[in-house]
Chains A and B, each alone.
Chain A
Amino acid sequence: MATKASRAAARLMISPAVLLLLGWMIVPLSLTVYFSFLRYNLLMPGDNPFVGWENYQWFVTDTSFTAAMVNTLLLVGGVLLITVLGGILFALLLDQPMWGQGVIRIMVIAPFFVMPTVSGLVWKNMFMNPVNGIFGHIAQGLGMAPIDFFSQVPLLSIIGIVSWQWLPFATLILLTALQSLDQEQLEAAEMDGASWPARFWFIMLPHLARAITVVILIQTIFLLSVFAEILVTTNGGPGTATTNLTYLIYVSSLLQYDVGMGSAGGVIAIILANIVAIFLMRMIGKNLDA
């Protein structure tokens, strides 16, 4: 199906999408880069002089930048660790024969559909609040001092909330991948005398490797942008204990109105995300024999 007429029609039909995405990518992106070289604060009207790398210098040397980078890494790494390991276990478990599989599966997946602001607030108030939260009540019932999660272990609390949201995603992807494993392969391995751990290690895990990589890459893209959960729980605090890169940029641009500084941060965030994206795109590309 490749005649000149159909190719011309195809070009015409694809152009609106291409133009829209091109506009969406190029206009804001070039503005971000442009702003990042200006001294530009909405609170200080006047001209916006070109200042070279000054914004980047300020942004990177600020102590909150280091904190934000560390927090971002811990947040992404912690959530990945929990969701991938938990996801593998859940997937293996849900792949076993059991009664009420459909209902159980739905219950496990449900948290993914809860909007970030709701899960942030629900965990913060109904569970982690030291006085009225369930964890507090349990601690009191056991005669222990309740933990004030957001002041004692703020980042860990955020990691917990975000993991709760993304564990279903990892489970679902890995379960789908596991179910696509040819049962005869496992039976053949069993005939060959492989024990369950051997079958898991030599057959299931290699089969899952690809899906695990996909889970890691896609989650990383989304986890770098975690925002709402922080906004509704800790506002980045105490201090900068839960400020990640996304939140730091939000603070400098929309709270401190420092357009230049926020833009410099934005450029850094884009570069970071692109490093992950390159690997992800390569994986997707391999699968695409268009």
Chain B
Amino acid sequence: MGRITLNNVGKSFGAVEVIPPLDLTIEDGEFVVFVGPSGCGKSTLLRLIAGLEDVSGGQIRIDGADATGLPPARRGLAMVFQSYALYPHMSVRKNIAFPLRMAGMDKAEQDRRVAEAARVLNLTDYLDRRPGQLSGGQRQRVAIGRAIVREPAAFLFDEPLSNLDAALRVGMRLEISELHERLKTTMVYVTHDQVEAMTMADKIVVLNAGRIEQVGSPLDLYRRPRNVFVAGFIGSPRMNLITGPEAARHGAHTIGIRPEHIRVSDDETCIWKGEVGVSEHLGSDTYFHIHMAGRDEPLTVRAGGDVDLYHGDTICLKPDEAHIHRFDEKGHRIE
């Protein structure tokens, strides 16, 4: 079991309110990702759930019981830290066994659980090494191993992949997702990388300046961003946001259109016309950064890999009207 409920939970450091009071429910077995730009309060929120920080107000319930005042160890949660936080003076085996040793579990059971975790995480050959002798990915797995042996009510991940290189990150992403499929345990995962959020989450919580901007499934957020912030944050490359007469034509203050929803037209019927600035040919896709009259920022367009246009070429564009998002002056979505 691992249902976590936050009621009116807030956090201030002195006079600075980092997280204004908020409500959030994390269902049992769910993979929830907190995502937002750095400094948005996502890690603080995770630490409040972990019990590493006191809440300034509100209540945290874990499986129905009030956990607000409990010390971290008694909340039944396990955490994987950004720096892995492995104990450098202990072998992998001792690292993984540490929480069990602290809980006073008997040695045989400790060994059994460590062996099982090591098997699952492919660490069996490394059990007697020190963390310093392992690669980044292996250290990450040890940190996860230390978390899973406790059989916690929920796992908390604090930007666990940000110290890995790009290739490893993709691999570990899959491993964590697989782990979730197998264990079916609640996972709360903090990241600033919206790709991680999109690929792993059952439910994404977008945070900005301590406030929850939107909660929903990845495709919900992609298809129906509730405001300009979410629209700009989710999706890569970023959604193009256009204000001025073009927006007014659609009856909005701001309109947004994703790069993949603008087509390069082959005939001369232009809706938008511009000049190619930078073109990035990836083979499979081509990204164009297009300069248009009356716009400071270039418009990003994603086209097929076979479009042969280069810097300085004139380009004709057709936005897909069905995929234009409209927002009012306050940035809220207009249905």
Q: Which residues of A are at the interface with B, using a C-beta cutoff of 8 A?
A: 1-5
Contact = CB atoms under 8 A, between A and B. Distances in A.
Nearest to B72: A3
A1 B52 contact: yes
Nearest to A1: B52
A1 B79 CA distance: 14
A2 B56 CA distance: 12
A2 B55 CA distance: 11
B277 to A, nearest CB: 32
Interface string B41-62: 0000000000111100000000
Contacts of B71: 3, 5
B71 to A, nearest CB: 6
A4 B51 CA distance: 11
7 contacts: A1-B52, A1-B53, A3-B51, A3-B53, A3-B71, A4-B54, A5-B71
A5 B51 CA distance: 11
Contacts of A4: 54
Interface in B63-103: 71
Nearest to B13: A2
A60 B52 CA distance: 59
Nearest to A4: B54
Contacts, number: 11
A65 B279 CA distance: 82
- Indicate the size class of the contact surface on chain B: under 10
Nearest to B52: A1
Contacts of B51: 3
A5 B54 CA distance: 10
A4 B71 CA distance: 10
A2 B14 CA distance: 12
Contacts of B52: 1, 3
Q: Which of A2, A3, A4, A5 has the most CB of B within 10 A?
A: A3
A4 B53 CA distance: 9
B44 to A, nearest CB: 11
A2 B54 CA distance: 7
Enumerate the 8 nearest inter-chain pairs by beta-carbon distance, A residue then B residue, closest first: A3-B54, A4-B54, A1-B52, A2-B53, A5-B71, A3-B53, A3-B52, A3-B51
A231 B52 CA distance: 57
Contacts of B54: 2-4
Nearest to B55: A3
Nearest to A5: B71
Interface string B139-160: 0000000000000000000000
Contacts of A1: 52-53
Contacts of A5: 71
A3 B68 CA distance: 12
A1 B54 CA distance: 9
Nearest to B71: A5
A225 to B, nearest CB: 41
A3 B52 CA distance: 7
A171 to B, nearest CB: 34
A2 B72 CA distance: 12
A158 to B, nearest CB: 49
A1 B53 CA distance: 6
A17 B292 CA distance: 69
B58 to A, nearest CB: 15
B123 to A, nearest CB: 28
B36 to A, nearest CB: 22
A1 to B, nearest CB: 6
Contacts of A3: 51-54, 71
Nearest to A7: B54
Given A3-B53, A3-B54, 8 more contacts: A1-B52, A1-B53, A2-B53, A2-B54, A3-B51, A3-B52, A3-B71, A4-B54
B299 to A, nearest CB: 39
A59 B52 CA distance: 59
Nearest to A2: B53
A3 B53 CA distance: 5
A63 to B, nearest CB: 58
A73 B127 CA distance: 64
Nearest to A3: B54
Contacts of B53: 1-3
A262 B53 CA distance: 54
Nearest to B47: A1
A2 B71 CA distance: 12
